[in-house]
Amino acid sequence: MASQDWFDKDFYATLGVSKDVDDAELKKTYRKLARKYHPDSNPGDAAAEAKFKEISEAYSVLSDKEQRTEYDQIRAMGSGARFTAGGQDAGGFEDVFSMFGQGRGGGTRFQTSSGNFEDIFSMFNQPGGFGEPTGGYRGYGGPHRGADVTAHTTLDFVTAVKGETITLAGEDGKPFKVKIPAGVSNGQKVRLRGRGRPSPDGGEHGDIVVTVTVRQHPIFTRDGLNLRVTVPVTFTEAALGATIEVPTLGGDPVRLRVAPGTPSGRVLRVKGRGVETKKGTGDLLAEVQVAVPSHLDDNAREALERFADLEPKENPRADLMAKAQTAR
């Protein structure tokens, strides 16, 4: 590939690395950029495809020890050197080849009429002079990763919370196992690395990406690692206080103390009875909801009427009304 490009293009700047970058960092940077600008990730985006070609070309030179050495030596001569051809006075080659012990004459041949640059460019390890590097997208860059394969699965709420190994059918119809981690949430993706499609040019396999849908539970909901449940209590339990039972997910119920005067919406916490994952364990949050009886017999109605005569004559909406009137 040794050509005028090696004078005009700064491959280090193209990849955003320093000139003393080591092989590992170079490879890491290239893979990150390749994933970002790969045509498969940017269908129909001509600018992304052009950028992908640039970074692939830069990596193909800098990742090859010999080509990188030659590139650094040529770039060190400055941008004033040029490849030219035509006529007997084909000037400009002395500057390039003198450092390799190649004068304008010697045994070096170039023939513009037939495009025969083999002898000139063979020292750059590029037979034919203008052949594209092998491997990668349309001949640019090194091997590329195979495509990812997508899959979907629907889990019940308990399975998603507890975690489980399930079996799915692959593209070829063959079954494969997926370990669902405890605490997976609705819409989360589980990635099986190296289980996707093979690379077309000897690179890494792609992944299988499984999107998880979680069915709703009839009483429990997720709040991060916490589980939420709404617990009805009677008016007298909320007013006088009581000890009640609260269900847990897949376990025995727990007993909670409702303090006297507990209003609707108050949350009672049960430590450690939420979602258990490697990152931690959540709690069970029981939200109290005061249940108003829809039917009263005569005795109950009379009792409540006597209570209404005895209860404090405070308007529970007084503060609400005052704030509404003073709000700007």
CA distance 232 to 26: 61
Coil/strand/helix, residue 17 = coil
Q: Write the pLDDT tens digit of every residue in 211-220.
A: 999 999 999 9
Nearest residue to 108 (alpha-carbon basis) of 97, 84, 74, 86 = 97
Name the band, by pLDDT with cuts 50, 70 and 90, for residue 114: very low
Among 316, 157, 320, residue whose Cα is nearest residue 250: 157
Task: Look at residue 102 and tell me whether its pLDDT is greater than 60.
Answer: no
| Count of beta carbons in the 10 Å neighbourhood of residue 138 | 11
Most confidently modeled range among 54-68, 91-105, 201-215: 201-215
pLDDT in tens, 296-309: 899 999 998 898 88
pLDDT of 143 strictly over 50: yes
Cα distance between residue 101 and residue 327, in whole Å: 88
Question: In the chain, what percentage of residues exceed pLDDT 70?
Answer: 77
Task: Name every residue whose Cβ is closer than 8 Å to that of residue 159 and which is 6 or more positions away in sequence.
Answer: 166, 180
Instruction: Work out the mean pLDDT of the chain and round it to a whole number.
Output: 80
pLDDT confidence band for 77 (50 / 70 / 90): low
Residue recorded with tokens 């008016």: 235
pTM exceeds 0.75, yes or no: no
Domains annotated for the chain, with CATH where assigned, are 5-124 (1.10.287.110), 149-214 (2.60.260.20), 221-321 (2.60.260.20)
Residue 126: per-residue pLDDT: 42
Greater confidence, 318 or 136? 318
Name the residue with higher pLDDT: 96 or 169: 169
Residue of 194, 240, 192 whose CA lies nearest to 212:
192
pLDDT tens-digit series, residues 239-296: 999 999 999 998 899 999 999 999 999 999 999 999 999 989 999 999 999 998 888 8
- pLDDT at residue 38, as a whole number: 83
Cβ contact 125:61 at 8 Å: no
Rounded Cα distance between 15 and 89, Å, is: 38
pLDDT at 125: 42
Residue 234 pLDDT class (50, 70, 90 cuts): very high
Predicted pLDDT of residue 6: 67
Give the bridge partners for 285, in sequence order.
228, 269
Q: Is the pLDDT reported for residue 73 higher than 90?
A: no
Q: What is the mean pLDDT of residues 49-60?
A: 87
- Among 138, 145, 134, 139, which Cα is nearest to 202's? 145
Give residue 104's pLDDT band: very low, low, confident or very high (50, 70, 90): very low
Amino acid at the residue 196? G
Give the Cα separation of 249 and 21 in Å (integer): 53
